[in-house]
């Protein structure tokens, strides 16, 4: 066994705070913060200091009182507070005024602006649970959203999301995935939501070589593809182990594993496995590509834009912006400016910030 170098083995950034679920807030429970973790984040939104939830609740009520609303004041406050702080403000707001902050915000907004504001009033696991339900509700499912949310999560995050999904919708996430998807793609997502990935930072080189050979035999070396081999390795092994396996695969096959997935698979399964590989290699690049594609060409996939910008705002949006510029020779801010408008644009740009 060998220790992977520090750069590869670095744990993916996570935000340093969360809050109790909305139901707990509604019952008058205090917002609870996650225990401190010594992991650097690169989000565009951080906890505001000094923070006074009572003062902020007064400011929000003032901005929404009377005819119309002071949208500039709403934006300035909501985009400079962390999700945990926004939920704390919501608790004080209800205590002080006997009104639900989410409902008041909804009555003062509309369209994509309303959708973005509504999503900002969830902590991260409830945000993801809400987004997953939205992706599966109605006729058909948004398979790209399912991939984006599920395959980018750690074991702990998957467990939180499943719990929140059950609490919010009285439904089982895995059962909904099974009913909304099919075939090998269904099996990929079901495997991912088990949250059983090994998370060690050590590498077993003998296993890396063997599993690289197994993947090669299951794909490039045979007629047809044994997807189950890809599925098993991609869902079980740690990030460090997979990076080593991908390097060994390149030596054996003379191809990058993403190219082999392109060649051997199709449809949602191909997109899901490629997303998994890309997130193992460089997660910010995956989200940069998703953002570019949701704004490229005529029209905008607003749901994807809102979901990614808000979801990554306290995690790695700074890195995503850097990758976006490197990949497309254009700033994320500039592309957003050209693609959307109104208060919706002002809100998204305030979260993305300069650069």
In 3D, which of 353, 287, 314, 319 has the Cα closest to residue 124? 314
The domain in which residue 30 lies consists of 22-119
- In the chain, the largest separation of any two C-alpha atoms, in whole Å, equals 70
Each of the 355 residues of the chain gets a pLDDT tens digit; together they read: 433 333 333 333 333 333 334 443 333 333 333 333 334 468 999 999 999 999 999 999 999 986 667 888 999 999 999 999 999 999 999 999 999 999 999 988 899 999 999 999 999 999 999 999 999 998 778 999 999 999 999 999 999 999 999 999 999 999 999 999 999 999 999 999 999 999 999 999 999 999 999 999 887 655 446 888 999 999 999 999 999 999 999 999 998 999 989 888 899 999 999 999 999 999 999 999 999 999 998 889 999 999 999 999 999 999 999 999 999 999 999 999 999 999 999 999 999 997 5
Q: 191-201 burial, b for 16+ CB within 10 Å, e for fewer?
A: bbbebebeeee
For residues 169 and 147, give the distance between their C-alpha atoms in angstroms, rounded to a whole number.
Answer: 20
Domain containing residue 82: CATH number: 1.10.220.10
148, part of any domain: no
Task: With H, G, I as helix, E, B as strand and everything else as coil, classify residue 324.
Answer: helix
Tokens 């991912």 locate to 192
* Whether 19 contacts 25, CB under 8 Å: yes
pTM comes to 0.84
95, part of any domain: yes
187, part of any domain: no
pLDDT tens for each residue of 80-120: 999 999 999 999 999 999 999 999 999 888 999 999 999 99
110, part of any domain: yes
112, part of any domain: yes
For residues 335 and 331, give the distance between their C-alpha atoms in angstroms, rounded to a whole number.
Answer: 6
Give how far Cα 225 sits from Cα of 188, 237, 252, Å.
Answer: 15, 20, 17
Phi, psi (degrees; rounded to nearest 5) at 3: -85, 130
30, part of any domain: yes
Structurally, the chain folds into a number of domains equal to 1
125, part of any domain: no
For residues 346 and 336, give the distance between their C-alpha atoms in angstroms, rounded to a whole number.
Answer: 10
250, part of any domain: no
């Amino acid at each position: 066994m060998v220790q992977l170098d520090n750069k590869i083995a670095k744990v993916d950034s996570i935000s340093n705070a969360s809050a109790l679920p909305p139901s707990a807030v509604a019952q008058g429970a205090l917002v609870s913060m996650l225990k401190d973790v010594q992991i650097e984040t690169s989000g565009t939104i951080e906890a505001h200091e000094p923070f006074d939830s009572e003062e902020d609740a007064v400011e929000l009520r003032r901005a929404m009182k009377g005819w119309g609303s002071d949208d500039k004041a709403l934006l300035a406050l909501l985009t400079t507070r962390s999700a945990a702080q926004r939920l704390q403000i919501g608790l004080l707001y209800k205590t002080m005024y006997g009104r639900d902050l989410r409902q008041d915000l909804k009555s003062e907004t509309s369209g994509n602006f309303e959708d973005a504001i509504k999503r900002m009033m969830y902590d991260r696991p409830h945000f993801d649970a809400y987004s997953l339900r939205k992706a599966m509700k109605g006729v058909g499912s948004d398979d790209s959203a399912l991939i984006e949310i599920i395959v980018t999560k750690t074991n702990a995050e998957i467990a939180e999301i499943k719990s929140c999904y059950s609490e919010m919708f009285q439904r089982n996430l895995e059962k909904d995935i099974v009913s909304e998807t099919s075939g090998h793609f269904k099996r990929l997502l079901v495997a991912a939501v088990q949250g059983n990935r090994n998370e060690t930072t050590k590498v077993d080189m003998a296993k890396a070589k063997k599993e690289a050979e197994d993947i090669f035999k299951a794909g490039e070396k045979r007629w047809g593809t044994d997807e189950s081999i890809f599925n098993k390795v991609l869902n079980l092994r740690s990030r460090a182990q997979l990076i080593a396996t991908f390097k060994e695969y390149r030596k054996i096959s003379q191809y990058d594993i993403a190219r082999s997935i392109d060649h051997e698979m199709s449809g949602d399964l191909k997109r899901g496995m490629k997303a998994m590989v890309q997130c193992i290699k460089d997660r910010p690049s995956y989200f940069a590509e998703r953002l570019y594609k949701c704004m490229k060409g005529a029209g905008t996939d607003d749901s994807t834009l809102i979901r990614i910008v808000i979801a990554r705002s306290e995690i790695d949006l700074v890195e995503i912006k850097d990758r976006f510029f490197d990949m497309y020779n254009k700033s994320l801010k500039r592309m957003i400016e050209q693609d959307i408008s109104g208060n919706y644009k002002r809100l998204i740009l305030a979260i993305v910030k300069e650069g």
